[in-house]
């Protein structure tokens, strides 16, 4: 794995050529680690030649919500909200809007105190 960045440096790198929009979520792994919850996300960037793989590790998760139904395809990211709220790193793979703030209506989201990103 090659480190993309952590925290705000990761947010800055995941724009332009490395945007998560139009990616495909391949794996979600939720697990306990000492006294906190962690979530690992694997994505495939669909527009890169050869399909570049991105691995995101959310540490010290305070809240998350994911929904799946067999009536839907698992899982194309058509729009994404990824930001630092000042208290959390927040990502929604199904946001209600493209505003730069979390919404109570966003779906498939994670709020974590820190985040790391890697190329696989």
Phi, psi (rounded to 5 degrees) for 86: 100, -30
| DSSP class of 49 | T
The share of the chain scoring above pLDDT 70, in percent, equals: 93
pTM above 0.85, yes or no: yes
pLDDT in tens, 8-49: 999 888 876 678 888 888 999 999 998 999 999 999 887 765
Greatest mean pLDDT among 57-61, 67-71, 105-109: 57-61
> Do the beta carbons of residue 108 and residue 43 sit within 8 Å?
no
DSSP bridge pairs for 77: 23
pLDDT of residue 99: 78
Query: Region 75-83: what's the mean pLDDT?
Result: 85
Q: Where are the domains of the chain?
A: 2-119
Give the residue carrying structure tokens 């630092």: 84
Tokens representing 91? 């990502």
């Amino acid at each position: 794995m090659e480190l993309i960045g952590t925290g705000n440096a990761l947010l800055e790198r995941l724009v332009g050529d490395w945007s998560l929009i139009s990616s495909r979520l391949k794996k979600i792994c939720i697990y306990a680690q000492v006294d906190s919850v962690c979530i690992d996300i694997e994505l495939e960037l669909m527009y890169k030649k050869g399909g570049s793989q991105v691995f995101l590790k959310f540490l010290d998760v305070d809240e998350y919500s994911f929904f799946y139904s067999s009536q839907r395809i698992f899982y194309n990211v058509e729009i994404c909200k990824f930001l630092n709220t000042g208290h959390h790193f927040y990502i929604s793979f199904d946001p209600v809007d493209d505003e730069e703030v979390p919404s109570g209506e966003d779906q498939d989201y994670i709020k974590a105190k820190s985040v790391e990103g890697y190329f696989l």
